[in-house]
Amino acid sequence: MNSDLQKLIDLQVVDARIAALKAEVAALPQQVAQIEAKLAGSKAQLEAAQAGMKADEIARRKHESDIKDQQEKISKYRDQSLKVKTNDEYRALNHEIQFAESEIQKLEDKILEIMVATDARKEAMKQAEAALKADTAANEKEKDHARAQTAEDEKQLAELSATRKELRSSVAEEALNHYDRVLKLRGSATAPVHEDESCSACRVRLRPQVFQEVTSNEQIITCFYCNRILYYVPPPPKAEEEAAKSGKAKPAKEESVEGDEAAAQ
């Protein structure tokens, strides 16, 4: 094979790998940001659950203090009722006592509601805490992974850059310039040609004479349509031939085993 052609094929492999690695490195910070956003979400959920608990606690204390107030009123009314002179006054005080008692009942119902809600809130908080703990651990693990991946990618990039430089230094300038132009324009600069006699990148069919020239792999030939540098890849050996070969080889090997014959005699 033409040495420049081989180097350009290798260069294409290296350039494609470099592009893929650079894309991966560029995507990693975004991945880390997504992990952070998820963690912030579970933190916010836990904080909301905690705030709900706190609000309930404040409300419960307020209701308890209101009950105390009503109880004090009741005992005051009872004291007064001992000193009243008329039935009307007595009835009025009794009415006040009943009203205060019904207020206490309402407040006690409210406290009961809060207590029932508290159980659900406690469960929600427990779940939020567990989710946050799991997300924090996953967050650290994924960030470590992202960091390690970046380091590995950077290392590979450095190695590939060295290989790339070496390859480029020994290719004829004209061929290299053509390669660079097409790579920039089309994202790839070389294209294999198979038995179908077409450029595998743009699918255009080559003229028979061009195809013949390409099969030798001895010159730099470009696709007349997409300008990529063409190289011929011979077809792999047919499966039938392979099977025929291995089919013949096997019994021959078994026949040569003398141990079995000796054992039979």
User: Which has the closest alpha carbon to 9: 251, 220, 259?
Assistant: 220
223 binds Zn ion (CB under 5 A): yes
100 binds Zn ion (CB under 5 A): no
Q: Which is nearer to Zn ion, 146 or 202 (CB)?
A: 202
The helix or strand, by DSSP H or E, that contains position 229, with its residue range, turns out to be strand 229-232
210 binds Zn ion (CB under 5 A): no
Q: Burial of 252 by CB count in 10 Å (0-12 exposed, 13-18 middle, 19+ buried)?
A: exposed
Contacts to Zn ion from residues 133-172, by CB under 5 A: none
User: Which has the closest alpha carbon to 9: 239, 217, 244?
Assistant: 217
Closest distance of CB 188 from Zn ion, Å: 10
The pattern of x and - marking residues 175 through 204 that bind Zn ion according to CB under 5 A reads: ------------------------x-xx--
Q: Which is nearer to Zn ion, 91 or 203 (CB)?
A: 203
- Round to whole Å and give the CA distance between 85 and 76: 16
Closest distance of CB 178 from Zn ion, Å: 13
Contacts to Zn ion from residues 226-245, by CB under 5 A: 226
Contact 96, 78 (CB under 8 A): no
Which residues make up the interface to Zn ion (CB under 5 A)? 199, 201-202, 223, 225-226
